[in-house]
Every structure is written in structure tokens, then in C-alpha cells.
């Protein structure tokens, strides 16, 4: 397992002008990103939908790389999306997944079969042309440039250290600096999309 | 031509409404009330079909497309729409997605007593979420589809078109 923030710092070097949906990595990415107008920190609109949202955005903007930092809890809620992504095969979609083996924001309870699910194998079996799994940062650092250089869709499972939150939702400190609507609007302005 | 044939909602009419309203992507999961559209949609070069495996994924996919500047339509059945409630809330309403969802109205009937709970709860579900809806039964109702598109665009919210065609499908 490795630290999400350290991984994101490495990713940032190769991000280029990709759109980034930081997902559960948002609280860290917020401090690391140098192109916030190309970031979409969505918070948690409804669990299970991040990958399909990223697919929709990738299909809509084929000229841009779309990078998603999904989570295993989110993906488990809608794993059929892997087949849809593989069928659509957007060459600009880079599907990273943070696997902390638990529901960190509800107190750290384990996800089903937490330590034994091979998400990269599932993605490959669903039809992704490339799939990787990393449990140490060194391997990730070596491969990330090539992962982002070659066309998608690609799936990258990463074992990350849980950052468990036990505070009730209403008492949690907000890390977002923009509302969701502001983030969407700024991205659309950057992309020249009429709202 | 029988009365039933005259009364149908033809796939050509629905496709014409999609094209007229600038639809670029059909995010869908097949159902018995709208299955008659498949071959025509597949053959239409201006449409990209995005098949999902669960209806909740349709709302998040449509949200991504809409944020990226495309014009999706969602094509699902009432049963799956109800299962997708949280996604409709969080992605559809939460991201102000101006999307029309054409919903196969399984169990709907105007000629008898409803015996299908899928129909019983459909309009109650939509009312609970504050989603406006238009019932279409035949080609004569086609203007209601355009009305739904106009309303979605104006309100920046999902709007439903209930396909209450008794003469298609397998039920």
C-alpha cells in the first residue's frame, strides 16, 4: 500500500492538459494540481457513478485525455460500467482506482472480499486492452509515463493506505475550494463548451 | 390497418424527434416498451449508442456527456428508473443535467385495470423527485417529446417521456 498524496504528486508531473476527476483523492489533489480549471472535484453526487461520468465526458471530448481516480467502493456499486467502457473504448480515458480495501468515509469497514479482489483482472476480462495493478509506489513511478502516453482505455488499480474518517458528515471539514457548479462551469469555459 | 396498428408510436417518429432536438448519444438499457427503436437507432449515423448494464449508470453517463457539451437522451424502463433513484438525484438533478429520459411504462394500460406494480409506482416516483413527465402513446403525441426536450433545456433538469404504448413489447 502507498500514500495517495505521494502518488498524486508523481502523477502531476505527467498530467499535461488532461481533465482530472480526482474522486476520493480530491482532498489531496486540491493542493497538488497546477491546473484547477481542468479539474472536476465532484464530491460524491451518488456512489457508483464516477466511472460512467468519466466515460461520458471522455466520449464528449475525445480530443482531451480524461483521468479518473475512482475508488473500489464506488466501482463495486456499478461494476458493469467496465463492460460499457470497454465496448465504447475511448482512447482518451485513463481509469485509475484507489483501493484502500474499505469504506473509509464511513469509518473503515471492509468492502466485500476486501483483500482478494483482482480489479485489474476484472477490467481485463471486461475488455480493457490494458490493465495494471500496483501495491508499491516505485512500480507506479516507473510505469506512469508510459501508461499515460499510450491510448486508453486503461485501468490502473492501486493499493492505497486508508484515510479513515469517523466524523459525521455534517462535522467534517470541507476541503473543496469551489462548489461543484463552479468547477463544472470553469471546466466548460476552459474547453469552450457552451453551458 | 387495424386500430392497434394506427395507434402505435412508430420508431421513425421517435427517431425524428431525437434528430430534431439535436440528440447526439442514446444512453440506454433495452426494455420491452422501447425495443422497437434499436435497429433504427443503430443505423442512424448521427447517434452514438451507449449501452449500460444498470439504469443508475445511465444518469452519470449522461451527466458526463452533458458536461462535455453533448446532448444525450436516456432510454430505460420504469423498473430500472426506480432502482436508479439515487443516481437520478445525485447525478441528474445534482449536476443540473438537461436530459430527456424516455421511460418504457411497463404495466401501463388505459383499457383495463393495472395489475403491475411497476406501473403503480411510476408516476408516484417521478412526483417524489419533482420530475415532470409527458405520456406518449402514438405518433399523434410526438409533439410532447419535443416539449420535454424544450422543458429540460429551459429548466436544466431531467424530464421524463413515458412511453405508454400498449401495442409494442412482450407484455
pLDDT averaged per 10 residues, chain B (length 171) = 64 95 96 81 95 98 98 97 98 98 93 90 98 96 97 98 70 36
Give the integer Cα–Cα distance in Å for A161 and B93: 33
> Domain for residue B49, yes or no?
yes
| Structure confidence at residue A172 (pLDDT) | 82
What's the pLDDT tens digit per position in A132-158?
A: 999 999 999 999 999 999 999 999 999
pLDDT at A54 over 80: yes
Considering only CB atoms, A45 lies closest to which of B50, B52, B94, namely B94
A168-188: average pLDDT = 89
**Closest residue in chain B to residue A68, using alpha carbons only:** B64
- CATH code of residue A41: 3.40.50.970
CB contact under 8 A, A88 and B50: yes
Give the integer Cα–Cα distance in Å for B18 and B46: 10
**What pTM was estimated for this model as a whole?**
0.95
What's the pLDDT tens digit per position in A84-136?
A: 999 999 999 999 999 999 999 888 999 999 999 999 999 999 999 999 999 99
Domain that holds residue B95: 22-138+154-163
Percentage of chain A modeled with pLDDT above 90: 89
A4-12 and A137-149 helices cross at what angle (nearest 10)?
A: 40
| Structure confidence at residue A166 (pLDDT) | 81
Interface check B56 vs A, CB under 8 A:
yes
> Domain for residue B100, yes or no?
yes
**Closest residue in chain A to residue B156, using alpha carbons only:** A195
CB contact under 8 A, B68 and A54: no
What's the pLDDT tens digit per position in A9-19?
A: 999 999 999 99
CB contact under 8 A, B60 and A53: yes
Domain that holds residue A33: 4-191
Interface check B112 vs A, CB under 8 A:
no
> Domain for residue B122, yes or no?
yes
Give the integer Cα–Cα distance in Å for A33 and A31: 6
Interface check B99 vs A, CB under 8 A:
no
Give the integer Cα–Cα distance in Å for A123 and A75: 11
Positions of E strands within chain A: 19-21, 66-71, 93-99, 102-103, 109-110, 130-134, 154-159
- Per the structure, the count of domains in chain B is 1
User: Most distant CA pair in chain A: distance in Å?
Assistant: 45
CB contact under 8 A, B69 and A58: no
CA distance A187 to chain B (A): 9
Interface check B93 vs A, CB under 8 A:
no
CB contact under 8 A, B91 and A46: yes
Interface of chain A toward chain B, CB-CB under 8 angstroms: 40, 42, 44-50, 52-61, 78, 80-81, 83-84, 87-88, 180-181, 184, 187-188, 191, 193-194
Contact yes or no for B74/B100 (Cβ under 8 A): yes
Give me chain A's average pLDDT, please: 95
Interface check B49 vs A, CB under 8 A:
no
| Structure confidence at residue B167 (pLDDT) | 53
| Structure confidence at residue B170 (pLDDT) | 37
Give the integer Cα–Cα distance in Å for B10 and B1: 14
CB contact under 8 A, A184 and B65: no
Cα dihedral A128/B64/A11/A113 (nearest 10): -60
pLDDT at A47 over 90: yes
Considering only CB atoms, A52 lies closest to which of B64, B68, B86, namely B64
Contact yes or no for B9/B168 (Cβ under 8 A): yes
| Chain B residues inside the 8 Å CB shell of A183 | none
- Per the structure, the count of domains in chain A is 1
| Structure confidence at residue B19 (pLDDT) | 97
- ipTM for this prediction: 0.96
CA distance B136 to chain A (A): 28
Give the integer Cα–Cα distance in Å for B61 and B159: 16
- CATH code of residue B63: 3.40.50.970
Interface check B87 vs A, CB under 8 A:
yes
Interface check B25 vs A, CB under 8 A:
yes
Give the integer Cα–Cα distance in Å for A126 and A83: 5
Please report which confidence band the pLDDT of residue A171 belongs to, taking 50, 70 and 90 as the band edges: confident
Considering only CB atoms, A46 lies closest to which of B52, B58, B87, namely B87
Amino acid at each position: 500500500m502507498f500514500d495517495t498524496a505521494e502518488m498524486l504528486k508523481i502523477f502531476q508531473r505527467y498530467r499535461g492538459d488532461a481533465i482530472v476527476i480526482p474522486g476520493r483523492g480530491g482532498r489531496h489533489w486540491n493542493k497538488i494540481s497546477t491546473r484547477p480549471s481542468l479539474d472536476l472535484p465532484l464530491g460524491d453526487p451518488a456512489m457508483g457513478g464516477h466511472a460512467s461520468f468519466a466515460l461520458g465526458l471522455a466520449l464528449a471530448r475525445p480530443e482531451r485525455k480524461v483521468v479518473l481516480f475512482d475508488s473500489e467502493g464506488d466501482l463495486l456499486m456499478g461494476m458493469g460500467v467496465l463492460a460499457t467502457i470497454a465496448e465504447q473504448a475511448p482512447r482518451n480515458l485513463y481509469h485509475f482506482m484507489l483501493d484502500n480495501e474499505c469504506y473509509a468515509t464511513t469509518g473503515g469497514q471492509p468492502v466485500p472480499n476486501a483483500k482478494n479482489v483482482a480489479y485489474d483482472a476484472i477490467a481485463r476480462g471486461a475488455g480493457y486492452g490494458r490493465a495494471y495493478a500496483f501495491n508499491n509506489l516505485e512500480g507506479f513511478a516507473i510505469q506512469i509515463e508510459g501508461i499515460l502516453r499510450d491510448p486508453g482505455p486503461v485501468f490502473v488499480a492501486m493499493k492505497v493506505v486508508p484515510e479513515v474518517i469517523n466524523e459525521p458528515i455534517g462535522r467534517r471539514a470541507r476541503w473543496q475550494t469551489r462548489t461543484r457548479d463552479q468547477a463544472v462551469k470553469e471546466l466548460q469555459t476552459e474547453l469552450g463548451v457552451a453551458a | 390497418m387495424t386500430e392497434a396498428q394506427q395507434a402505435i408510436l412508430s420508431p421513425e417518429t421517435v427517431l425524428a424527434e431525437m434528430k430534431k432536438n439535436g440528440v447526439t448519444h442514446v444512453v440506454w438499457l433495452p426494455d420491452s416498451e422501447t425495443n422497437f427503436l434499436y435497429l433504427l437507432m443503430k443505423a442512424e449515423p448521427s447517434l452514438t449508442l451507449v449501452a449500460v448494464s444498470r439504469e443508475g449508470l445511465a444518469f452519470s453517463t449522461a451527466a458526463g456527456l452533458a458536461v462535455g457539451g453533448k446532448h444525450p437522451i436516456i432510454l430505460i424502463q420504469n423498473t430500472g428508473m426506480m432502482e436508479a433513484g439515487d443516481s437520478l438525484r445525485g447525478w441528474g438533478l445534482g449536476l443540473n443535467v438537461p436530459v430527456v429520459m424516455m421511460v418504457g411504462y411497463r404495466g401501463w394500460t388505459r383499457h383495463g385495470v393495472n395489475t403491475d406494480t411497476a406501473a403503480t409506482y411510476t408516476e408516484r416516483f417521478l412526483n417524489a423527485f419533482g420530475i415532470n413527465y409527458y405520456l406518449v402513446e402514438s405518433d399523434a403525441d410526438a409533439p410532447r417529446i419535443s416539449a420535454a426536450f424544450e422543458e429540460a433545456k429551459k429548466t436544466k433538469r431531467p424530464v421524463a417521456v413515458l412511453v405508454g404504448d400498449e401495442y409494442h413489447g412482450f407484455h
